[in-house]
A and B are shown apart, each in its own frame.
Chain A
Amino acid sequence: MPPIAGKRILVGLLAVGIPYGGSFFYLWNQSRNVVPPKPRLSEDALRTLETVEFVLNDHITSAEANLSGMEKDEARTQERITWISQRESPYGPSGAPLLSWAELIYRDGRRLESSQKMVVQEIKLCRLVTKGLREGIDRSELLKTIRALEEWAPRVQQTIEDTELSTKKTAIGIGTNPVLLAEPAYTEWNILSSLHYDQESRISSLGKIHSDLVSFVDALKKLVDRSPPVYETLRFPF
């Protein structure tokens, strides 16, 4: 190799190596001092989001408490089914309709539980977006969560509607005038109907919470769209 070629190679290596090494060192040094992006919303918006997050937390706590209440009700219904289905149960001819009614109430309870779990998940995702907006998380991540919420909302709606319909059918399920029931069947009817009314009130409040969440997600989407993107991480000078 003639000496001139060696010199050229050396100069070429230096010309590429020095800026390359310098850039690498600069980037490496920057990456060690990465600070999380600051929130870019107004003070008012941040305060509102904080309040909303507080309300969502409250919803989650009460929804989780409701879930454990539902589990207890299911256990009670299961207990009634076991009791009514025993051969020596004292209900006579009313035993069979009472048993089928109890089974329907048990099935409704299971449906209600799964609807409740879906709504709890929905509230948790909303809280995630609210928290992300407050803390200045990348908008694309928030939009992904919002999209997941939007895609999921019709399924939750369908589940709630199915549960509502099934509860309405159960209301006429016993097909017997309770006044005609003799004791102890009348007392059993009262126990089962109180379980059923609890389910009815729960499913109606669940429907309302879900529809509130759908409008809330819509408002969140607009807020995320309006918030400036977090893109100051890399900016070249010219």
Chain B
Amino acid sequence: MSSGHGESSRSARQNPDEPPLNMGILDTAASFGKEAWRFFRSPRISIAEFDAQGKGQGKLSLIYMAFAFILTSAFVLIELRLIPETVTGSSTRAIKKDELIFTYWILILLFVAFLHAGCRLLSGRATLRATFTASLRIYAFLVPGTTLLMIFLSQLVASAISTYWLVIPPLGVVGFKPFVPTTGNLLIVAGFVTAYFYLALFFLMCTVWALHATHKLSYLRTCLAAAASIGALLLVKPFVIGAGRRLYEVFEPLITPFLGGL
């Protein structure tokens, strides 16, 4: 991820794989899919090649984020259909719809802001716009990807141990029913926790790579900034969730028609 100077950034701008910036929805969807595929095949190279200060890249990151939002919401809707109503209650009020649909995006935006502040404090060089462009670009691929994988794994494991789990994007899991702690069940859940650990680690590593490339910081400083941002996020998370819930309650009549059967 170059900061927009020198030969490497010019070559990135001229990259034939880069999507043109004025294209229709279908073209954008196709380019989103293509870039997501490239990202998951070789994340580090894909992040290193990305030019965060390139022309129109900020706008494209936002468009990709919109795609990611639609995709993730669709995954969550499908996931909710997989859990029987008797578990969630005949009225689905008990499910934190706001957390499932939009609060995590607010948390992600806040996390990126913390990351930027942390990096700048540790002598990072990128602008706020560049940090957002780079981070949102990787999260646009990571959030739906990890959510889908987490839903798949959690459904698999939950059905194996006869319980119900709900994935709150991107990396949250809540259990609706305690599982019986037999040795077999513990072995299965330990497998899930291991997979979860590596998924969370991948999430974090992508963040660190993106910050390292954008801010031109050492890995140690980038990791410090990321750790401080995670700490800050965990501190403010309850307030954000509380505010999100209040906001949701106010706008619920407007939001509900868009959520369909959720």
| A140 on interface, CB distance cutoff 8 Å | yes
The residues in B between 169 and 224 inclusive whose CB is less than 8 angstroms from any CB of A are 170-179, 181, 186-187, 189-191, 193-194, 196-198, 200
- Assuming the contacts A23-B194, A31-B181, A237-B234, asked whether A225 and B90 have C-beta atoms less than 8 A apart, the reply is yes
Partner of A20, one of B172, B175, B190, B234: B190
How far, in angstroms, from A26 to B192 measured CA to CA in the complex? Answer: 13
| B256 on interface, CB distance cutoff 8 Å | no
Report whether A234 and B173 are in contact in the complex, using a CB–CB cutoff of 8 Å.
yes
| B156 on interface, CB distance cutoff 8 Å | no
- Assuming the contacts A231-B176, A234-B173, A234-B174, asked whether A31 and B186 have C-beta atoms less than 8 A apart, the reply is yes
| B15 on interface, CB distance cutoff 8 Å | no
B190: A residues at CB distance < 8 A: 20-21, 23-24, 27
Report whether A229 and B176 are in contact in the complex, using a CB–CB cutoff of 8 Å.
yes
Contact mask for chain A residues 100-129; partner B; CB cutoff 8 A; 1 contact, 0 none: 000000000000000000000000000000
Report whether over half of chain A's contact residues are helix, strand or loop; otherwise say mixed. Answer: helix
Shortest Cβ distance from A31 into B: residue: B181
Partner of B87, one of A21, A140, A238: A140
Count residues of chain B with CB under 8 A from any CB of chain A: 32
B176: A residues at CB distance < 8 A: 138, 140, 229, 231
| A147 on interface, CB distance cutoff 8 Å | yes
Shortest Cβ distance from B182 into A: residue: A31
Shortest Cβ distance from B233 into A: residue: A238
Shortest Cβ distance from B178 into A: residue: A233
B200 smallest CB distance to A (angstroms): 7
Interface size classification for chain A: 20 to 34
How far, in angstroms, from A237 to B198 measured CA to CA in the complex? Answer: 14
How far, in angstroms, from A228 to B198 measured CA to CA in the complex? Answer: 32
| B23 on interface, CB distance cutoff 8 Å | no
Report whether B171 and A231 are in contact in the complex, using a CB–CB cutoff of 8 Å.
no
Shortest Cβ distance from B169 into A: residue: A238
Partner of A23, one of B87, B171, B197: B197
Partner of B89, one of A20, A31, A147, A229: A229
- Assuming the contacts A27-B189, A28-B186, A229-B94, asked whether A236 and B172 have C-beta atoms less than 8 A apart, the reply is yes
Report whether B172 and A238 are in contact in the complex, using a CB–CB cutoff of 8 Å.
yes
Report whether A235 and B177 are in contact in the complex, using a CB–CB cutoff of 8 Å.
no
Partner of B91, one of A16, A225, A236: A225
Report whether A143 and B90 are in contact in the complex, using a CB–CB cutoff of 8 Å.
yes
Report whether B186 and A24 are in contact in the complex, using a CB–CB cutoff of 8 Å.
yes
Report whether B196 and A236 are in contact in the complex, using a CB–CB cutoff of 8 Å.
yes
| A6 on interface, CB distance cutoff 8 Å | no
Shortest Cβ distance from B104 into A: residue: A238
Contact mask for chain B residues 69-83; partner A; CB cutoff 8 A; 1 contact, 0 none: 000000000000000
Contact mask for chain B residues 85-124; partner A; CB cutoff 8 A; 1 contact, 0 none: 0111111011000000000000000000000000000000
| A144 on interface, CB distance cutoff 8 Å | yes
Report whether A144 and B89 are in contact in the complex, using a CB–CB cutoff of 8 Å.
no
Partner of A19, one of B87, B186, B193, B234: B193
List 30 A-B pairs, Cβ < 8 Å.
Answer: A19-B197, A20-B191, A23-B190, A24-B187, A26-B193, A27-B189, A28-B181, A30-B181, A31-B181, A34-B181, A138-B177, A139-B89, A140-B86, A140-B176, A140-B177, A143-B90, A147-B86, A225-B93, A231-B175, A231-B176, A233-B175, A233-B177, A233-B178, A234-B173, A235-B173, A236-B171, A236-B172, A236-B196, A238-B170, A238-B172
Residue ranges of B at the interface with A (Cβ–Cβ < 8 Å):
86-91, 93-94, 165, 170-179, 181, 186-187, 189-191, 193-194, 196-198, 200, 234
